[in-house]
Amino acid sequence: MIASLAATPIMEVRNIRKSFAGNPVLRDVSFEIRPGEVHALVGENGAGKSTLMNVMTGNHHSDAGEIVLAGKTIRLSDPKSAAELGIGIVHQELSLAPNMTVAENIYSGREPTTFLGFINKRRMRARAREVFSRIGLDINPDAKAGSLSVAWQQMVEIAKALSLNAKVLIMDEPTSALSGAEIEHLYAIIRGLRDNGVGIVYISHKLGEVFEIADRVSVLRDGQLVRTLPVPETNPDEIIRLMVGRDIKDLYPPKASRLGEVIFKVEGLTLPGKVDDVSFELREGEILGFAGLVGSGRTETARAVFGAERPAKGRITLRDREVVIRGPGDAIRQGICYLSEDRKGFGLFLTMSVRGNIASSSLPAYSSSLQFLDFNRVREASRELLDTLDIRPRNDSLNIINLSGGNQQKTMLAKWLAAKPTILIADEPTRGVDIGAKVKIHQHLRRFAESGVGVIVISSELPEVLGLSDRVVVFRNGSVSADLRNDNLTQTEVMHYAAN
């Protein structure tokens, strides 16, 4: 335990209350962060984590309570006022402008100027390089943000927050788009900031990360702070019990008891520069896992099968019938559905309602013979799926953008459940989802397979791939390097084929 845990808190929220439309979201929450500590904040989706962070950064105004910074009560009128006081945040959802340079993104709205009032681009680039140097990154400040991988964009988001000389830095699921090596680099950055006295709030659903990097952990449940514990004095099982109010057993359902005939086959799929001669098959009742490092070709293969990218060659067979897929519409009509890893960019209509999103991929199923939409059937189906997947709040008329990231993820799964797929490709199906929701999603994927739906799961979390899959296809450099039966398969065996 670090010495700073005896220090005076650098920031406190005291007895914070917040309601939306009469629904209480935060109930007398008190939380503190000390200089030079990593304080993890965990809880199920809908527990109030995002709302608490929005209050701490000026996005929301609390209904009651106070915020204290360095011993003084403050009022945050907006995120800019929080940033000026040294409170920074790295959001789970990337917010960079893709057509602006890296330096322009970092200093947007606070660009250094010449004595004539023009933007001093040379000084802006130099300052960006200084920030990158502080955290050991080598990124061209003149590169367009959209040209960077998602992982590198995440690093730029961190640099943007650090450029504010933050005293308190909030990180919301910061590893969601990072590979193993990049996560280790992030940990090194966090430890360096901690050693320099920065207080870090670390939000993550991955308890392994909490026990790797945090000094203390606070648990929110149903809008209340349940408990704060020093990390060395607790364990993952206790944290899960505090999060969900009960024991959670069997994170992964049993493997398939019986496999049927091949129902889906891909042969010689080639996407120049991304995927080379990929072939695999899927049996009835089976969950097939795709494993590999970031950029290995897993997602690119899924997008090509779904028609989101046009392969140069390849053959797709569905139940012994060759199918031609020229775009996502063709794929959906054939019963091939793809749950994207990028829910914000490709998975959801953020300004539409939950109900509209759920129905969006299966409108013909809710249409009358005259092609009019039957809104009663849409409401009935959406509300049933809200209950089935425990999507909170239970209001399907809310715009999807107003839901937490985890509940957005569950809505995206509900959308494809409503489409009644023959083949479901689930790319990072539990990204940003709490432990209780993970269990439910895993169970639903297994029930899909047992009902005859072909299920392919892509995940950067090897324990998830191994826990769910009956067989694992390993990708390396755009090709399949191994096709392995999951008979007590280990992470070491998979990584041998993924990295060598």
Q: pLDDT for 380-394, tens place per residue? A: 989 999 988 888 888
To the question of domain 3-244 being in CATH 3.40.50.300, the answer is: yes
The residues near 266 (Cβ < 8 Å, ≥ 6 apart) are 278, 279, 280, 281, 301, 305, 314, 315, 316, 317
Q: Helix H segments across 270-364?
A: 298-306, 328-333, 354-359
Helix (H) or strand (E) holding 104: helix 102-106
Torsion angle (degrees, nearest 10) of CA 484, 490, 493, 499: 100
Q: Give the sign of the dihedral formed by CA 146, CA 150, CA 154, CA 159.
A: negative
Cβ-based neighbour number of residue 289 at 10 Å: 27
Q: 97-129: per-residue pLDDT in tens? A: 999 999 999 998 889 999 888 999 999 999 999
Q: How confident is the model at residue 458 (pLDDT cuts 50, 70, 90)?
A: very high
pLDDT at position 248: 63
pLDDT at position 1: 43
Contact 265, 316 (CB under 8 A): yes
pTM of the model: 0.67
pLDDT at 65 over 70: yes
Contact 167, 196 (CB under 8 A): no
Q: How confident is the model at residue 246 (pLDDT cuts 50, 70, 90)?
A: low
- Does 262-499 match 3-244 at the fold level? yes
pLDDT at 303 over 70: yes
Dist. CA 91–CA 86, nearest whole Å: 16
DSSP string of 446-495? HHHHHTT-EEEEE-S-HHHHHHH-SEEEEEETTEEEEEEE-SS--HHHHH
Q: Tell me the average pLDDT across 413-426.
A: 92
pLDDT at 291 over 50: yes
pLDDT at position 480: 97
- Which of 194, 189, 86, 62 is CA-nearest to residue 132? 189
Total H helices, total E strands in the chain: 16, 20
Dist. CA 345–CA 201, nearest whole Å: 26
Going along 302-452, which residue ranges are E strands?
Answer: 313-318, 321-323, 336-339, 423-427
Q: How confident is the model at residue 367 (pLDDT cuts 50, 70, 90)?
A: confident
pLDDT at position 249: 66
Q: How confident is the model at residue 355 (pLDDT cuts 50, 70, 90)?
A: very high
Q: Mean pLDDT score of the chain, rounded to an integer?
A: 90
pLDDT at 5 over 60: no
Q: How confident is the model at residue 254 (pLDDT cuts 50, 70, 90)?
A: very high
pLDDT at position 376: 87
pLDDT at 476 over 90: yes
Going along 231-333, which residue ranges are E strands?
Answer: 262-271, 275-283, 287-291, 313-318, 321-323
Strand order in the sheet with 23-33: 23-33, 11-20, 64-69, 72-74
Dist. CA 99–CA 277, nearest whole Å: 33
3 state SS of 378? helix
CATH fold of 262-499? Rossmann fold (3.40.50)
Q: 73-95: per-residue pLDDT in tens? A: 999 999 889 988 999 998 877 77
pLDDT at position 3: 42
Tokens (6 digits) for 261: 């005939």
Domain residue spans of the chain: 3-244, 262-499
- Say which amino acid occupies 33: I
DSSP state of 108: T
